[in-house]
């Protein structure tokens, strides 16, 4: 059975671990993906760049400095050099020895564990090559149905679909657009990523009526704490939107927190 991202067709909302369970585990690593699933995620968001030898790897930044014990641009390092880096020790010594996964490894994991992948193209110098390499891996691993390719670069998404019409894509937005459906049609996307403070129920209804899905990114509890202290709580409205089927995927760093919201809304269940 094909993996389905639409809440109205599955009867559930997907819970997406942003870079895996990145609040408690080294982001964009297999331990973070596995922990996200244990915590209630049904999908994980990953970031993709290319090595010097054009291998798609799971890494958010263009450099390896922040998340590993290495230095330099991933685009200047071979896969063999990337393999020698430690992607866990900088997060916490308990994760020493954790490696940067390849996209192929992430896809194999998703297929084996029946998880969806929200795959962001972060590659800046060779983005079209990154898309083509990812598309080849999706076909080779039989994971086209469980992956959405996403980007802030809507022109890149449009080119991707022109070359690979079977790709599912998602346009990332950080603003409320006057014609959100028109934005998605312009870049041939299937879905849109929306920040919680830019979500509008009417926009979600219009998206669903036009056949598009959405993913809403929810801030961590520490970012919401000032609202709570000020007597303002966005969560009741969010839970109601989830309960009403207006949100297809709820995404965040704190996977147990967003999984709790989905459960409170009564929109959890078997993945399909």
pLDDT tens-digit series, residues 36-62: 999 999 999 999 999 999 999 999 999
Task: Using pLDDT thresholds of 50, 70 and 90, give the confidence band for residue 151.
Answer: very high
Give 235's DSSP letter: H
Contact between 119 and 103 (Cβ < 8 Å): yes
Number of CB atoms found within 10 A of residue 216's CB: 25
Q: What is the mean pLDDT of residues 122-140?
A: 98
H or E stretch covering 139:
helix 127-141
Q: Active site includes 217?
A: no
Task: Give ∠ CA 249-200-253 in degrees, rounded to 5.
Answer: 35
Tokens in use for 132?
A: 């083509």
Closest by CA to 101, choosing from 25, 40, 27, is: 27
Q: From the candidates 14, 18, 154, 217, which is the catalytic residue?
A: 18
- Angle (CA) 16-6-111 rounded to 5° is 55
**Average pLDDT in the chain:** 96
Model confidence at 4, pLDDT cuts 50, 70, 90, reads confident
What number is the average pLDDT over the span 227-231? Answer: 96
Mean pLDDT for 84-108 is 98
Residues near 101 by Cβ (< 8 Å), separated by ≥ 6?
Answer: 28, 29, 30, 57, 58, 109
pLDDT at position 194 is: 97
pLDDT for residue 69? 97
Question: What is the tens place of the pLDDT at every residue in 7-20?
Answer: 777 888 999 999 99
The predicted model gives 52-74 an average pLDDT of 98
User: At residue 33, does pLDDT exceed 70?
Assistant: yes
Note the pLDDT of residue 3: 81
147 has which bridge partners? 117
Check if the beta carbon of residue 23 is closer than 8 Å to that of residue 36. no
pLDDT at 75 over 80: yes
Spatial distance between the Cα atoms of 161 and 219, rounded to a whole number of angstroms = 30
CA 91 vs CA 17, 44, 186: distances in Å = 17, 19, 40
pTM metric for this prediction: 0.95
* Model confidence at 184: pLDDT above 80: yes
* Residue percentage of the chain with pLDDT more than 90: 93
* pLDDT tens digits, 105-130: 999 999 999 999 999 999 999 999 99
Average pLDDT (220-245) is 96
18 is catalytic: yes
Q: Please say if the pLDDT value at position 262 is more than 90.
A: yes
134 in Cβ contact with 57 (< 8 Å): no
Vertex 74 angle, CA 68 and 75, to 5°: 175
Give percent above pLDDT 70 in the chain: 98
């Amino acid at each position: 059975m094909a993996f389905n991202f639409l809440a109205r067709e599955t009867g559930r909302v997907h819970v997406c671990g942003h870079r895996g369970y990145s609040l408690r585990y080294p982001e964009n690593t297999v331990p973070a993906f596995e922990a996200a699933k244990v915590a209630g995620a049904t999908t994980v968001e990953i970031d993709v760049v290319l090595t010097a030898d054009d291998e798609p790897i799971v890494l958010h930044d263009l450099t390896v400095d922040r998340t590993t014990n290495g230095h330099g641009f991933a685009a200047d390092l071979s896969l063999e050099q990337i393999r020698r880096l430690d992607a866990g020790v900088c997060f916490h010594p308990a994760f020493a020895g954790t490696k940067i996964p390849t996209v192929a490894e992430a896809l194999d994991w998703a297929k084996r564990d029946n998880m969806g992948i929200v795959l962001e193209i972060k590659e800046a110098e060779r983005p079209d090559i990154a898309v083509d390499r990812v598309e080849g891996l999706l076909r080779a691993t039989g994971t086209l149905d469980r992956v959405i390719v996403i980007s802030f670069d809507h022109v890149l998404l449009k080119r991707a679909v022109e070359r690979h019409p079977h790709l599912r894509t998602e346009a990332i937005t950080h603003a409320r657009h006057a014609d959100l459906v028109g934005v998605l049609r312009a870049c041939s996307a299937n879905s849109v990523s929306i920040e919680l403070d830019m979500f509008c129920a009417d926009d979600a209804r219009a998206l669903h009526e036009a056949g598009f899905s959405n993913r809403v990114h929810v801030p961590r509890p520490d970012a919401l704490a000032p609202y709570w202290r000020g007597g303002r709580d966005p969560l009741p409205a969010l839970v109601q939107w989830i309960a009403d089927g207006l949100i297809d995927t709820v995404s965040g760093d704190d996977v147990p927190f967003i999984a709790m919201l989905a459960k409170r809304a009564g929109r959890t269940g078997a993945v399909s």
